[in-house]
Amino acid sequence: MAVSGPVVLVGCGRLGSAILEGWLLTGAVAPADLIVLTPSEKPASEAARARGARINPEPEALRDARAVVIAVKPAMWRTVMPPLLPFLGDQAVILSVMAGVTAPTLAEGLGGWPIGRVMPTTGVSRGRGVASVWAADPAARALGRALFEPMAETVDLPDEGLMDAATAVAGSGAAYVYAFTEALARGGQAAGLDKQTADVLARATLRSAADSMGDDALETLIARIASPGGSTRAGLDALDQDGRLTTALRETVAAAVRRNREMG
């Protein structure tokens, strides 16, 4: 069921556009309830306008807003949000999808509205994203879930401190998977494949692996492919020789967590 009442999206960049496309695709928000604030028109905002959304209306239109989703860069919210606040009513909930910026920091800059945080992936644009949700206020948490569940596999975080880790794993994770795909292709090239063939094989393999993943244990999935004493086992042993894959990913996530904290 669509969230009732106007929903304001502040920022229509890479993630904001993906969120808007996801809402239009899934009907999580009725187009007539969508208000988008964006300095420049984007394909997603034009598509939303064509379906009945209001793009950059007069600020009085924010008066009945049920939710305000902040999707600007972490360095921008302190200048973007204050001019909007005098127009928000008491019923509004503020949801931030910004990496790193904590709820206490937002509350200090924004005042008394309930605040929630959601960390989505851009896969929401096709209704197949991932989203981590946290809010101290139960109504803000419920609204965060209602807005993102239709287009994302959604997890509730028990405390805000985990948001940086969730961001490092899920918000950033697709980029790591793409980096892995690139490295797999270069491995194929080093073994004799031409670049184009190696790229096609690596990409298609990642797509196929994602499609086949389901909910089985990851060890089970690996065991289905890696016959004892076979070539996959030999490859896996090299991949995690002396725990280097495990170490690399632990350090990858830790570095992203650190950066999220710095940005907040």
Ligand X SMILES: NC(=O)C1=CN([C@@H]2O[C@H](COP(=O)(O)OP(=O)(O)OC[C@H]3O[C@@H](n4cnc5c(N)ncnc54)[C@H](OP(=O)(O)O)[C@@H]3O)[C@@H](O)[C@H]2O)C=CC1
What is the SS3 assignment for 251? helix
Contact between 50 and ligand X (CB under 6 A)?
A: no
Kindly tell me which residue out of 172, 185, 188, 257 binds ligand A1CAB, with binding defined by CB under 6 A.
Answer: 172
From 6, 22, 114, 171, residue interacting with ligand X (rule: CB under 6 A): 171
- How far apart (Å, rounded) are the C-alpha atoms in residues 103 and 93? 12
Query: What mask, x for binding ligand A1CAB by CB under 6 A, covers residues 48 to 87?
Result: ----------------------------------------
- Show contacts of 154-159: CB within 8 Å, 24+ apart: 154/130, 155/130, 155/131, 156/132, 157/132, 157/133, 159/134
Is residue 17 within the footprint of ligand A1CAB (CB under 6 A)? no
Query: Does the protein bind ligand A1CAB through residue 38 (CB under 6 A)?
Result: no
| Binds ligand X by CB under 6 A, chosen from 55, 80, 155, 200 | 80
Q: How far apart are CA 8 and CA 263, in angstroms?
A: 24
Instruction: Compose the 80-119 pattern: x for residues touching ligand A1CAB by CB under 6 A, - for all others.
Output: -------------------x--------------------
User: In this structure, how many other beta carbons lie within 10 angstroms of the beta carbon of residue 112?
Assistant: 7
Tokens linked to 45: 């905002």
Whichever of 119 and 198 has its CB closer to ligand X, that residue is 119
66-79 exposure pattern, b = at least 16 Cβ within 10 A, e = fewer: bbbbbbbebeebee
Q: According to CB under 6 A, which one of 30, 44, 71, 253 is a site residue for ligand X?
A: 71
Q: Is position 171 an interface residue for ligand A1CAB (rule: CB under 6 A)?
A: yes
List the one residue from 3, 12, 135, 146 that touches ligand X (CB under 6 A). Answer: 12
Residue 16 interacting with ligand X (CB under 6 A): yes
Give the strands of the sheet with 152-156, arranged side by side: 54-55, 34-37, 7-10, 67-70, 93-96, 115-120, 129-135, 152-156
User: What single DSSP character describes residue 124?
Assistant: G
What does each C-alpha distance from 81 to 37, 102, 106, 107 come to in angstroms?
Answer: 11, 15, 10, 12
What is the residue whose two structure tokens read 């509730």? 156
Query: Cβ closer to ligand X: 143 or 256?
Result: 256
Nearer to ligand A1CAB, 154 or 172 (CB): 172
Residue 91, binding choice from ligand A1CAB, ligand X, none, Cβ under 5 to 8 Å by partner class: none
- Part of the chain binding ligand X (CB under 6 A), chosen from 9-17, 141-149, 203-211, 233-241: 9-17
The residue at minimum Cβ distance from ligand A1CAB is 171
Measure the CA–CA gap between 58 and 55, rounded to whole angstroms: 9
DSSP for 28-56? SB-GGGEEEE-SS--HHHHHHHHTT-EES
The footprint of ligand X (CB under 6 A) covers: 10-16, 37-40, 71-74, 76, 80, 97-99, 119, 122, 171
The footprint of ligand A1CAB (CB under 6 A) covers: 99, 167, 171-172
